[in-house]
Amino acid sequence: MDGSTEAPTVVFSRIPSATPAPPNPPQPRRRRKGLLFSSLLTLAVVLGGGLFTVAPLRHPLPGPTVELAMPVSLTIPGKTPKLPWPKSGQGVIAVSGLGTLGSFGGNKPVPIASVTKVMTAYVILTEHPLKAGEQGPTLTVSAEQAAAYPGERARGESLVKVEAGEEITVRQALQAVLLPSANNMARILAAWDSGSVDAFVDKMNAAAEELGMTDTHYTDPSGLDPDTVSTAKDQVILATKAMALPAFAEIVKQKTAVIPVAGEVKNYNELVGHNGVVGIKTGSTDEALGCLVFAAVVTVAGRKLTVVGAVFGQPGAQTPEQLDRVFAVTRTVLRSTTKALAPHTLVEAGRDVATVRGPLGTGTTLRTAEKLEVVGWPGLKVKVEAQLPAVPTRMAAGTAHGQLTIQAGTGKPTKTALKTSSDLVPPSVWQRIRHHR
């Protein structure tokens, strides 16, 4: 060893300097994904609840429905009136437009005597219509027809005097047929219209068939032949149609008339001009006995109604007695008929007619605005009809909607408006949501 000394080797280590602490380190990727999923789930739940709430509002509501609370017919309350009919014969009485009030004696075809002339006049006036007051065409009495007069008179027929070459209008000829019941003028008119009496009788039967007179058969235009038969029911059908012809209605309500050759003639129907009677035709033979078809106009509660009836087969030794009997029966029955006719309230104001049912318990009631009356008699059936248009979704209380109509027979209908009893409104949003839940 040379005795020298080496200096020791010093090793330095790096000491980090003091620096600020770094920020929080970022979250690990796995945690960030979890938070995102949780947020999306929460949003889905919120949105899902909203969609659940809105869903029922997207569906359309059903429209209101109507439930009718009225029957299709009503009957006038009370006991059906009994008319004072006689013990023998047959008869019917009806009120035009309302129907038959009463009848008796069945419906067997019987001789009807000069009531036949109603059909004779009806056929003439349908073939040769006359306006009110119009005389119509002129016909001429032939020598043969005039020559038959003495023999007809000898048989005791009901006639008017005629002469060969006599000119007479259709109206005058009908006056002779319908007032003094001239058999000869009925035959003269028939031959003028159809060329022969037989051809005219065919027209009479065709007209009866067309009118639905199923129990009627004509063999002559005057009714002298007892084989001409009908029923009270059938003759009321015919009389109602005949009275709708202006010229017919004018003639049968006359008490007298003036015609060529015969001069003034009188109406055999002594009821005309009394108690509203405006016609129509008498009849009397040994086979038919006393017969009458009649019409009367009566006023009930300010309304004019036409009563049409027929009474056949009233006994008596001769024509005057037979006619007196049928007149007496008709007076009594007509008085009872007039008494039976009266106004009746069938529907009161404020009556429930229909229930309107809207969705989710909404709705209202349709009620009559006014009362409804009908003229008739107890036991008469009356047709009821409600006219209900489509119901809107919203109507205020008291809104007029539709109407109710009642009608007796074919008479004039009476009507009233229907009004809502309360507001009809659609259900609220909250009602719809609650209903859905």
**Alpha carbon distances (Å) from 176 to 46, 152, 158, 172, 320:** 102, 16, 10, 6, 19
The 10 Å Cβ neighbour count of residue 329 is 20
**The pTM is what?**
0.80
Active-site residue numbers? 114, 117, 181
What angle do helix axes 170-178 and 117-127 make, rounded to 10 degrees? 160
246 three-state secondary structure: helix
- Tens-digit pLDDT profile for residues 10-31: 332 333 444 444 555 555 555 5
CA distance 437 to 435: 6
User: Binding site annotation covers 304?
Assistant: no
Q: What radius of gyration do the chain's Cα atoms show?
A: 47
Question: Where are the domains positioned within the chain?
Answer: 65-76+345-436, 107-340
Find all residues with CB under 8 Å of 88, minimum gap 6, and list them: 105, 313, 314, 315
Q: Residue 208 pairs with which residues in a beta bridge?
A: none
Per-residue pLDDT tens over the stretch 195-219: 999 999 999 999 999 999 999 999 9
The DSSP element (H or E) to which 306 belongs, if any, is strand 303-314
For residue range 99-153, what is the model confidence (pLDDT) as tens digits? 999 999 999 999 999 999 999 999 999 999 999 899 999 999 999 999 999 999 9
Whether 8 has a pLDDT exceeding 60, the answer reads no
Select 65-76+345-436's CATH number: 2.60.40, 2.60.410, 1.20.1630, 2.170.140: 2.60.410
pLDDT for res 413: 93
Region of poorest pLDDT, from 58-62, 115-119, 378-382: 58-62
Q: 3.40.50.300, 3.30.479.30, 3.40.710.10, 2.40.160.40: which CATH number matches 107-340?
A: 3.40.710.10
| 387: enclosing H helix or E strand | strand 381-387
Q: Which residue has the tokens 């009394």?
A: 274
